């Protein structure tokens, strides 16, 4: 599946919050195993004082929104111009290089 910029911009704050709830309920290790994402290295979503892997959270939110499973090679990146930037655009705090 090729993920487009337009479809990435359609991800909602609600979808992201659902993923954060899921992440909290199954915990980090199981979340990464289930969705096959590596641990974050540079960019983290900060929500209610906790750190989350921004790319993995965004990818899963996209999957909820479009009923699909995003893979590493599906044109989704974690940087400021992609997942981190899109999360910021939704009003979330994301740490990482500027």
Structural domains in the chain (count): 1
Q: What is the pLDDT of residues 52-89, one digit of tens each?
A: 999 899 989 988 888 877 765 556 656 666 788 899 99
For 28, counting Cβ atoms within 10 Å of its Cβ (0-12 exposed, 13-18 middle, 19+ buried), the class is: middle
The per-residue pLDDT for 72 is 56
Mean pLDDT on 46-55: 94
State which residues form the domain around 64: 5-95
Q: Which pTM does this prediction carry?
A: 0.85
Q: How confident is the model at residue 37 (pLDDT cuts 50, 70, 90)?
A: confident
């Amino acid at each position: 599946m090729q993920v487009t910029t337009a479809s990435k911009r359609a991800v909602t704050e609600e979808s992201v919050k659902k993923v954060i709830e899921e992440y909290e309920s199954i915990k980090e290790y199981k979340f990464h195993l289930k969705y096959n994402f590596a641990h974050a290295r540079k960019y983290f979503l900060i929500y209610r004082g906790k750190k989350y892997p921004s790319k993995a959270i965004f990818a899963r939110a996209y999957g909820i929104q479009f009923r699909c499973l995003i893979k590493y090679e599906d044109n989704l990146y974690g940087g400021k111009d992609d997942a981190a930037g899109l999360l910021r655009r939704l009003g979330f705090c994301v740490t990482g290089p500027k």
